[in-house]
Chain A
């Protein structure tokens, strides 16, 4: 889930026989050839078994007629492109794609804007207030998604939910106590959006704040002497310094928000009337409710490819960063 792009500029550790005193050099060199591979074997085995193999299998299943019959008899027939054709001709395809894209964009935009504002605010706060903000952020970040989603259900529950009560007290919207947020796709998306943003802002805010604290203060002092306004300072100093971190958190947010599943599944199961069905939910219901694993796999392949296109820049950067590992 978490992505690291650590790169250390420390000189590579001298390794192999060169680092050892000459007397012992001969013995380790012989098994030195197998040792690194032996040490990597368990990690490689687990990764290949649980991430690599299923990924290959996913593509294969997407070309197979994998339904209930295949599940029980074990007899699997090839389907050619039939699964992709079925997905392509499904009237659901366009709405699902549009929904997934719009929801992901709304989540990323909301998370980044709020996260940046919080980070800028934290940089200007006194130490005590800043600690309070940090503690609140970490608490919401730490909430397990399932527990958070169930708390959300309770917060927005019709009749006894505290949010409806509070909104009613403001007197702005009339009596909302009976309002059920999951009866319309838009308001259902709204509460999922609030939930996901609530949980994603902490990472973005704390990361951007860490970046802000690395900007040399002399830049700001110089700008103050030149009489630059707050907006100019932000545009000319803060933003260029933050750009690499902003790019990173944007891409990570795209990856995470594109894959949001648990929260939508628990709150709406993709309803009402399929109104909150995103690509992930669609693939899941096709496979596990409709027992059409082939079509579910085809949708999953499409979503993997879409995500790959969206994050191509990041993948290229990763591969390139490998050059100075």
Chain B
């Protein structure tokens, strides 16, 4: 038995394997299926002793219930503002750094790259205490800017390394040719580097998006005021405040998960490649 279907035809030997794969799929997708199923159920079907496995008749009442709850729209807006700011800030800052790291040679280049790698190994839960105290003495608690800066720093190492990898792949001859034709630095960056590095910009943007959108730890500690909460904090407080309103809670969870799942599908190849390249010498 060899991997990658070397035997060629789907013989009887494949049957137990396919059965195992089907079972695995069933098991692994079940929580997400149950989330969507619960979110679309009519309210009475959620709290029934024997669970209903199909959400028919489809009902959007749970979504309406979640959106109508106090704070949802404010916190959704906060999440969107913070996430958008993090994406723009992280990608722009990382792009500058990546250009310097791939196109210019200077003292301290290697030190910077290693420092970036080491710094991202710092366990984030350990940083909550000093970040909280520093922001408190700077009177920056309940300031969305604090969250933006925190998330930007968390995603920067990955963003810098990924963009650096993409820039590395672009032959310098292209820029040289443009330079011979009399193009300036800005023109070269805008007309040549940026379009070529676009896949990398998209991948890192999505990564920044997911990190900022998902965080609970820092948002929970740094945003004490309800008006500045983000969606994950709202979800958790919803869960403890209402106790049994699982319909609304799960519908809101579905709404918060949807954009992430969509974006994740877009970059998963890049994520896997980015995390393992270098493990095997190529």
Contact = CB atoms under 8 A, between A and B. Distances in A.
Nearest to A145: B214
Given A123-B3, A147-B256, A47 B119 contact: yes
Interface residues of A, number: 130
Nearest to A241: B280
Given A146-B256, A150-B239, A325-B113, A39 B31 contact: no
22 contacts: A2-B207, A6-B162, A15-B103, A33-B106, A39-B97, A39-B104, A43-B160, A47-B116, A47-B119, A50-B152, A123-B3, A139-B261, A144-B214, A144-B257, A151-B35, A151-B250, A154-B246, A165-B49, A198-B31, A212-B3, A261-B217, A296-B129
Given A47-B119, A203-B275, A211 B24 contact: no
B272 interface: yes
A141 B246 contact: no
A210 B172 contact: no
A217 B272 contact: no
Contact of B127 (A8, A24, A54, A133): A54
A211 B129 contact: no
B70 interface: no
B122 interface: yes
Given A21-B180, A147-B257, A150-B250, A43 B120 contact: no
A89 interface: no
Given A146-B235, A297-B130, A307-B123, 13 more contacts: A4-B161, A49-B153, A50-B150, A50-B152, A51-B153, A118-B24, A121-B21, A124-B1, A133-B24, A146-B216, A151-B31, A165-B49, A296-B129
A107 interface: no
B276 to A, nearest CB: 5
B261 to A, nearest CB: 4
B205 interface: no
B186 interface: no
A32 B147 CA distance: 34
Nearest to A242: B280
B215 to A, nearest CB: 9
